[in-house]
Amino acid sequence: MNISNKYLVEAIVFLSYVLFAMAWVGGTASMSQIMANLDLTSLASASFISGAVTFAKIVGTFSAAYFAIRFGIKGAFFVSCLLVTVGLMTPYAPSYDWLLVSRFLMGLGGALMIVYFNPIVMNWFAVEERATINGLNAVAFNVGTAIVLWCMNDINALTGSWQNTLVLFSFLSGLLAIFWLFVKFDGTSSAAQEKQEGAVQYSYKSGITDSFNWAYALTYSGLLAFYICLFTFYPTAGISASKWVIGAGIIGTIAGMLYSRKIKQRVPVIRWSGLIQTVMVIGLSFSENALIQTGSAILLGFFIFFPITALVSIPHEMKKMSAGKITVVFSLFWSISYSVATLVLWLFGLVVDWHQGDFFYAFVLISFVSSSFFLGSFFLPETNPKSDLSDKTEPTTE
């Protein structure tokens, strides 16, 4: 049996990442029970797990292109699926070390998977379809997260326990991995065809010295830092708005997909959304009015994800882009973004400690950092310039 329908292929990719999110967030939501089972009460141990996972994301996204070269895109995506299923160990880890390994490898799988979205989309979909498919993939993590945040107790009741729920998520991930083996890759984006089409070889060295990749990653890194900070530190500061951000984010992604199908210019939606994001981050962080906080969270969730379709479409629409090149581009995009976000989160916690638990100056820091999405838009190429701008903007990244 060969799976050759592109929409079925996309369904496997999309659901694979949804299930990764469910396993990932489900494990985080059950961490208190997991730690209790292991007789661990140290918050430092729990923090170390989060740090190891972040490290896995950096390592995984940076090494994604190597795995793609070593195993091919199909084989590399299969490896990422297998790593996600290692989450099976999480609910029954016999020791802290096993728990750490389980979470690290699952995080590594998710990090690899998110990079491979792009060459897979490039292999199966025409240029005019990619914006919609990229937007759909961008909302996959939010869908999985929302299911867990809103339905975890119901799922636990259905399966009998939180352990059974996490096992179910891993089992379904393994099932999708098996289905993936039947996907027929015809080599439309293979190295041979890329050479035939005249695409240049694009190594890590090429990527690191390409100014576009730095502008692209740094544009997103501040927003990513805020997004992680929102779920890591804001509840501790007494601001609990994660569900509003997640729900509004799903709506924002869908709206962004529809918008990007009709409006082809990418930079304006990134720029104006970035400006609104910055204002809403300030409203959420500094207002003491619950209504303003909630409204800011809803608008923030919407405008964080509304421009994501446009953002991830830019490399797909650049000249002489190939599957190999786009794998390196997104490998660097995610690894740089996560590296910066990790540093920012460390600084955020440090600033809070310096001020004896006062979050004010840390919120000033994260508000400034989150403006990277707005500021970075001035350094991004417009891949679909209007006719009167066509002579001024020429995205190449040769």
In the numeric block, which tokens belong to residue 375? 């500021």
CATH number of 1-185: 1.20.1250.20
Which residues have C-beta within 8 Å of that of residue 172, sequence separation ≥ 6?
19
The CATH number of the structural domain formed by 199-385+394-398 is 1.20.1250.20
Interval 226-264: pLDDT, tens: 988 887 788 878 887 767 888 898 899 899 999 998 888
What is the rounded distance in angstroms from the CA atom of residue 74 to the CA atom of residue 80?
10
Per DSSP, what are the bridge partners of residue 183? 3
- What ranges make up the beta strands (E) of 67-215? none
| Residues composing the chain | 398
pLDDT value for 48: 63
Coil, strand or helix at 184: coil
CA gap 217, 206 in Å, rounded:
15
pLDDT in tens, 5-46: 899 999 999 999 999 999 888 887 777 777 777 776 655 565
Q: What is the pTM of this model?
A: 0.82
Report the 3 state secondary structure along 108-120: HHHHHHHHHHHHH
CA dist 192 → 111, 122, 152 (Å): 27, 15, 46
Q: Is the dihedral of CA 248, 254, 260, 262 positive or negative?
A: negative
The CA–CA distances, whole Å, from 28 to 11, 140, 180, 376 equal 25, 18, 27, 32
Within this chain, domains 1-185 and 199-385+394-398 share the same CATH topology: yes
pLDDT of 186 above 50:
yes
- The first and second tokens of residue 319, run together, are 């000249």
Which residue in 358, 245, 226 sits closest to 294, CA to CA?
245
Residue 157's pLDDT band, with cuts at 50, 70 and 90, is very high
Distance in angstroms (rounded) separating the CA atoms of residues 396 and 381? 9
**94-121: b (≥16 Cβ within 10 Å) or e:** eebeebbbbbbbbbbbbbbbbbbbbbbb
For residue range 85-127, what is the model confidence (pLDDT) as tens digits? 988 888 888 888 888 888 889 889 999 999 999 899 988 898 8
Distance, CA of 170 to CA of 155 (rounded, Å): 14
**pLDDT class of 342 with cuts at 50, 70, 90:** confident
Which among 143, 376, 361 has a CA at the least distance from the CA of 237?
A: 361
- H-run or E-run covering 273: helix 267-286
- The yes-or-no verdict on residue 393 having pLDDT over 60 is no
Structural tokens at position 22: 């469910």
Radius of gyration of the chain (CA): 21
Q: How far apart are CA 276 and CA 206, in angstroms?
A: 34
CA distance 210 to 214: 7
Average per-residue pLDDT for the chain: 85
- Residues 226 and 281 sit within 8 Å (Cβ to Cβ): yes
